[in-house]
Amino acid sequence: MISIITSVYNQLGMNQLFVEYLKRYTQYPYELIIIDNNSTDGSREFYQEHAHVLIKNSANYSYPYCQNQGIRAAKYNYLAFLNNDVLVSPSWDERMLNFMDKHALDIASYATNDHLENRQAQKAVNRRWKRIKYPVQALFGHSKWSLQLMARLMYGNWESYCRKRYEKFGDGIKEGFSGSSIMMKREALEKVGLWDERIQGADFDLYFRSKERSIQKQDIKPMMLATGIYIHHYQRLTLRGQKKIQMADAANIISLREKWDAKAKEYEQYVQ
């Protein structure tokens, strides 16, 4: 029922934890489509065993390029675009499909530590996460064990934390998105198109296109945030100072403002 599309480059410990949580907390049948950007730490071999579809790139490609590769391989009607550095919550899929049905949405996003119900809550969670993440990362790196430790220190009992958020916010909704976790119906592609492979900030571009379409055609709603359905995002796991890998398609990339010009500022106000 759900095609989960995820691009990866290394981060073996995170990939192991990502798959573990998917298996534990996903309710509906799903296929896991992994786009591997030439990993060298055993991640490709790991997904050879644990992915339903493994696309092997010979180099590191941009996020939107990889998402379109996944779309072309996907067979289900619901497309979940998840970063590999997230932890899904219990019934994350079932609750989101019910949420989208209730609010008549073609595209939706999860509440994460990147984007919550209001700025005050978001800042508080981010401050706590930074106080936990950086010391543990500095001491223990990015092993599966250290990533689990970060999550335990952050949330205590993960299932209890997610249950309490859902009890508090339920099917609450606000306009906006978390780029690490987006759910889309396949028919939305007919309205907003594939990911724009020129835009590295492609999550903002997708939101902008849904917003513009909602204004011009009124046949889709802009991307909405499900405030009660939580997913944790580890955010940037790369240690400071580590060499950045050049994307194979970097020459094709333009900025968000190059494409949207003045409209970028107009649309950004809705997701602040």
* pLDDT given at position 163: 98
* CA angle (217, 80, 237) in 5-degree steps: 120
pTM as predicted: 0.94
Output the six-digit token pair for 209: 């296109």
Phi, psi of 266 (to 5 degrees): -60, -45
Q: Which residues of the chain have pLDDT under 70?
A: 238-244, 264-272
**pLDDT tens readout for residues 146-191:** 999 999 999 999 999 999 999 999 999 999 999 999 999 999 999 9
Burial 172-194 (b: 16+ CB within 10 A, else e): bbbebbbbbbbbbbeebeebbee
Contact 238/50 with Cβ under 8 angstroms?
A: no
Burial 218-250 (b: 16+ CB within 10 A, else e): eebbbbbbbbbbbbbbbbebeeeeeeeeebbbe
Class of domain 2-271: alpha beta
